[in-house]
Amino acid sequence: MSDKPEISPKMQNLYDLAAELDDLGHIAALLGWDQQVNMPHGGAEERGLQSAAIGRIMHEKFTSDEVGQLIDDLVEEVGDLNAETDEARAIKVAKRVYEKQTKVPLPMLMEQIKVTTMAHQAWEEAKAKSDFSIFQPLLEKIVDLRKQYADLFKPYDHVYDPLLDDFEPGMKTAEVKEIFNKLRPQQVELLQAIAEKEPPDNSFLKQHYDEDLQETIGRYVITRFGYDWNRGRLDLAAHPFTTEFGQGDVRITTRYLKDDAGSALFSTMHEAGHAMYAQGVPPKYRRHPLSGAASLAIHESQSRLWENLVGRSKEFWSFFYPSLQMLFPQYLGNVSETDFYRGINRVEPSFIRVEADEATYNMHIMLRLEIEIGLMEGTIAVGDLPEIWNTKMQDYLGITPPDVARGVLQDVHWSGGMIGYFPTYALGNLASVQLWDKMLEENPNIPDEIAQGKFDTILGWMREHIHQYGSKFEPQELMLKATGSKITPEPYIQYLKTKYGEIYNL
């Protein structure tokens, strides 16, 4: 006799549909991964058509009247969609996605997929040549398509809300602004205090470290973290990312910079954090409506936690620094562990978001949020972006990028149409510290374990409190369950003040 609860025929129909859509979604992801890792430049147009074909099949399968009727019947059958059962939450997730997708005309979806596939190649070329004009026409199309998309969801409180909701279910622009308005003055105050102090030396990082050896240490670190190589691999891409083609295949990428040895290592840790979340979703959610993550902010809480709260901690380097020193004696032989720790945590306004230190990182996100809102409201024109970007960089960080490659073209997201994504990075930072504080409260020996190169308790806690739920709970609901609080800026500010107070003797 089976222990599995019986499910109704209609519920089984929903699960079967979800499994098929999951398969198609992973095929689309595989096309995207190949484009960024392997595909020759000339393949962009045909890849756009291939991706659009998959997108059309998925859209048509999920937005049919029959699926709408199935969801309505299941809502009536189950009743309370907020009940904490897999069935109720699977229906809730399916209903939410159905209601959004049925508002989108198929031609608009097809155009979006084709344009963004072409735009990715244009962005790569524009960034390599530091020439915004190569990317501008396609970005103008993308912004126009995003405005059309937002209009499908009128009435809304703000034109940015439908885009934000795609990445952070239930979150409103007003909520993000409120959080950032609390965050910004306190981060500015901290940055001003730090600016008055002598910065730690980090010149030892600004060398050309052998890339094969960088890969060796990166693989070693994330293997200790718990990244499962039987279900993953590491490749190179212009912009590091994580993608999955199912629970058995979760891939990460990194990149090597000639003048910053920390970049690849910390991005590898970051992407491993994302990947371990995907690898930690339980097998019962394989090809299931709840197979995804709660949100991009929750995803980002995982990557930022492993990259920063673990990877930039004193305890971490008390274990790993001897190995790094042994691999690179010519650069690190005369650098003490204390100087190394202070150097990798140096606070310094920088042009590139993904290389930014913890104290300045959120400023990069607030800048992007202002620009994205301006683009959607129509107060910022795409053609003016390079100048507006530089002005805001000066305003937020006191520096002006020397070229567009290190300015407005540095991030891949707009080429993929992902307007609304950036706020989730800062929200993820805040969530990471809340989760960390709760985990330490329950497991005060974690710092000692990190110093011994042991990470089982951290990964196990995340498996229990975050990973096991897949997309069963909305992000704020999940944060309440895990920490007792919704996403809030106060713990993050306290973390920064404590950490940098010690490093900079504030």
Give catalytic residue positions. 271
Contact 267, 282 (CB under 8 A): no
What are the counts of helices (DSSP H) followed by strands (DSSP E) for the chain? 21, 3
Contact 310, 455 (CB under 8 A): yes
Cα three-residue angle 382-33-422, rounded to 5 degrees: 40
- Locate tokens 């439908």: which residue? 162
All CATH 1.10.1370.30 domain ranges in the chain, comma separated: 173-504
**Predicted local confidence at residue 5, as pLDDT:** 65
CA distances from 235 to 29, 206, 238, 256, 478 (A): 15, 23, 10, 11, 32
Contacts of residue 399, Cβ cutoff 8 Å, sequence gap at least 6: 349, 350, 351, 393
Query: What are the pLDDT tens digits along the chain (506 aa)?
Result: 345 568 899 999 999 999 999 999 999 999 999 998 999 989 988 998 899 899 999 999 999 999 999 999 999 999 888 889 999 999 999 999 999 999 999 999 999 998 998 999 899 999 999 999 999 999 999 999 999 999 999 999 999 999 999 999 989 999 999 999 999 999 999 999 999 999 999 999 999 999 999 999 999 999 999 999 999 999 998 889 999 999 999 999 999 988 888 889 999 999 999 999 999 999 999 999 999 999 999 999 999 999 999 999 999 999 999 999 999 999 999 999 999 999 999 999 999 998 899 999 999 999 999 999 999 999 999 999 999 999 999 999 999 999 999 999 999 999 999 999 999 999 999 999 999 999 999 999 999 999 999 999 999 999 999 999 999 999 999 999 999 999 999 999 999 999 999 999 99
**Predicted local confidence at residue 2, as pLDDT:** 44
**Predicted local confidence at residue 4, as pLDDT:** 58
All CATH 1.20.58 domain ranges in the chain, comma separated: 9-102
Contact 470, 280 (CB under 8 A): no
Q: Which fold has domain 9-102?
A: Methane Monooxygenase Hydroxylase; Chain G, domain 1 (1.20.58)
**Predicted local confidence at residue 45, as pLDDT:** 87
CA distances from 91 to 39, 122, 165, 282, 293 (A): 38, 39, 18, 18, 16
Nearest residue to 310 (alpha-carbon basis) of 485, 461, 107, 137 = 461
173-504 under CATH 3.40.50.300, yes or no: no
CA distances from 121 to 76, 136, 243, 412, 459 (A): 47, 13, 19, 10, 36
- For residue 333, the surrounding DSSP H or E stretch is none
**Predicted local confidence at residue 3, as pLDDT:** 53
Our CA dihedral for 291, 272, 44, 101, rounded to 10 degrees, sits at 30
